[in-house]
Amino acid sequence: MTLQLSNRHGRLSQSPIRAMSHECRRLGGINLAQGICDLPLPPLLGEAAAAAIAAGHNLYTRYDGIPELRAAIARRQGRDHGLEMDPENELVVSCGATGAFYVACLALLDPGDEVILFEPYYGYHLSTLHLVQAAPAFVGLDPADNWSFKVEELAAAITPRTRAIMINTPANPCGKVFSRHEIEQIRDLAVAHDLIIFTDEIYEYFIYDDLRHLAPATVEGMAERTVTISGLSKTFHVTGWRLGYLSCRADWAAAMGQLNDQIYVCPPAPLQYAAAEALSKMPADFYSTMRRESEIKRDMLCDALRRAGFPPHVPQGAYYVLADISRLPGRDSWERAMTILHKSGVASVPGSAFFRGRQGEGLSRFCFAMEMDIIEDACRRLVAASF
Ligand code: PLP
């Protein structure tokens, strides 16, 4: 038999997060590897979803999302981030931010087009580019300088094949929040080379130290070239609901909507109704409380990592800490993260998952989106273990 899998599939690799989670389960440890939040979903959402199913909202919907949800997303994004959009024509509701990025890539990229990712990167951004046969290019963020980038390096990474730059703010895994100055630097290069900007803002409500989320599309000159991607997974603790969306100019959104139809037909029907209700009715202090509680957990985990001898790169946003574990023996970050798991029972993601080269080998990523008692337990274990 010579029947083989496609090249596309061959470029995908098994996520180390799954392998680490498996080992963590085997050992009965605390899983700070997975990027999921185990907090209960806000009651309003659960009740609205049950009501939507009972009311018979169980059939296909419009492929790019029901009008009620589109209107609710547009209202909230305008209110909270000054991100204005025409809900009828400039918005596509998809199956998660992951689905939104995939249809955006399918609509705008041809095989061989280059897309620049900042490194450390989020694995699905890279694998989505592989799936559409685009070519990733990388620009490093400097861990010693607050994960800044050098604009000369970004300029040097642009070639005649470059089509887009991805901005993930706040970023997974390093927690970087891109400043206005940085976004303007990226904008100037994008305008000069006529590039698309993809932004992944799924952690827009997880932002600390009195920083404010700045949606790149709101920066002057960006709206017509930016695809803004976000979703409900993280903010409402519903990663399994698969609800995300993108906004961009109308001609692009129309194409992305058609692709969304081809791939997903529509986002989950009753959950769209629940999401519309949650977005419309959630009191403003829901977001500020979540942010405050998340910041407390960040500080607890960073403090515990410091005391355990793993200096943390304190994140400005998102809900992960990259910590320096290089003092542990081992050939690579996988072995070092395993040592941490075996000695403390706390699972993390080896830094190599976020870099092409060896820069990640001295790092590991710890997630703090768990219930407070779990974070407290993880902190106790990290501090008590002797590494
Ligand atoms: N984008 C980033 C940067 C993420 O870290 C994640 C999840 O970890 C996602 C997107 C996934 O979003 P969704 O569940 O909406 O597909």
| Pairing state between β 30-31 and 346-347 | parallel
- Residue 101 C-alpha to ligand 1 middle, in angstroms? 10
pLDDT at 387: 84
pLDDT at 8: 80
What is the strand order of the sheet 349-350 is part of?
312-313, 320-324, 363-367, 349-350
Question: Is the minimum distance from the CB of 239 to ligand 1 under 6 angstroms?
Answer: yes
- Among 172, 228, 241, which residue has the most ligand 1 atoms within 8 Å of its CB, making it the best to mutate? 172
- Residue 174 C-alpha to ligand 1 middle, in angstroms? 14
Question: Is the minimum distance from the CB of 231 to ligand 1 under 6 angstroms?
Answer: yes
As given in the structure block, the two tokens for residue 371 are 């219930």
Record the pTM. 0.97
Enumerate residues 6+ apart whose C-beta is below 8 A from 21: 31, 33, 34, 347
- Among 73, 122, 126, 174, which residue has the most ligand 1 atoms within 8 Å of its CB, making it the best to mutate? 122
Cβ–Cβ < 8 Å for 231, 100: yes
Cβ–Cβ < 8 Å for 280, 84: no
Three-state SS at 63: coil
Closest CA to 106 of 230, 236, 255, 275: 255
Q: Could you identify the atom of ligand 1 that is nearest to the CA of residue 35?
A: 8
Question: Is the minimum distance from the CB of 122 to ligand 1 under 6 angstroms?
Answer: yes
Q: Could you identify the atom of ligand 1 that is nearest to the CA of residue 239?
A: 14
Question: Is the minimum distance from the CB of 216 to ligand 1 under 6 angstroms?
Answer: no
- Residue 4 C-alpha to ligand 1 middle, in angstroms? 30
Domain borders along the chain are 7-41+285-384, 43-281
Q: Could you identify the atom of ligand 1 that is nearest to the CA of residue 243?
A: 15
Alpha carbons 330 and 350: distance in angstroms, whole number: 12
pLDDT at 14: 67
- Among 17, 98, 237, 264, which residue has the most ligand 1 atoms within 8 Å of its CB, making it the best to mutate? 98
- Residue 191 C-alpha to ligand 1 middle, in angstroms? 27
- Among 37, 124, 246, 263, which residue has the most ligand 1 atoms within 8 Å of its CB, making it the best to mutate? 124
Residue with CA nearest ligand 1 atom 5: 172
Instruction: Indicate the CATH number for domain 43-281.
Output: 3.40.640.10
**Cβ count near 80 (within 10 Å):** 15
SS (H, E, C) 310-332: CCEECCCECCEEEEECCCCCCCC
Mean pLDDT, 10 residues at a time, the chain of 387 residues: 79 78 91 80 93 97 98 96 97 98 98 98 96 97 96 98 98 98 98 98 97 97 98 94 98 98 97 95 92 97 98 98 97 96 96 94 96 95 92
pLDDT at 41: 87
Alpha carbons 74 and 79: distance in angstroms, whole number: 8
Cβ–Cβ < 8 Å for 336, 383: no
- Residue 335 C-alpha to ligand 1 middle, in angstroms? 26
Q: Identify the CATH homologous superfamily for domain 7-41+285-384.
A: Aspartate Aminotransferase, domain 1 (3.90.1150.10)
Question: Is the minimum distance from the CB of 123 to ligand 1 under 6 angstroms?
Answer: no
Question: Is the minimum distance from the CB of 360 to ligand 1 under 6 angstroms?
Answer: no
Three-state SS at 99: helix
Three-state SS at 117: strand
Enumerate residues 6+ apart whose C-beta is below 8 A from 115: 105, 109, 129, 134, 135, 136, 137, 162, 163, 164, 165, 166, 198
Question: Is the minimum distance from the CB of 168 to ligand 1 under 6 angstroms?
Answer: yes
- Residue 230 C-alpha to ligand 1 middle, in angstroms? 8
Residue with CA nearest ligand 1 atom 12: 97
pLDDT at 9: 78
Alpha carbons 286 and 373: distance in angstroms, whole number: 20
Angle at 335 between CA 329 and CA 337, to 5 degrees: 95
pLDDT at 77: 96
Residue with CA nearest ligand 1 atom 10: 97
Residue type (1 letter), 12: L
Residue type (1 letter), 325: I
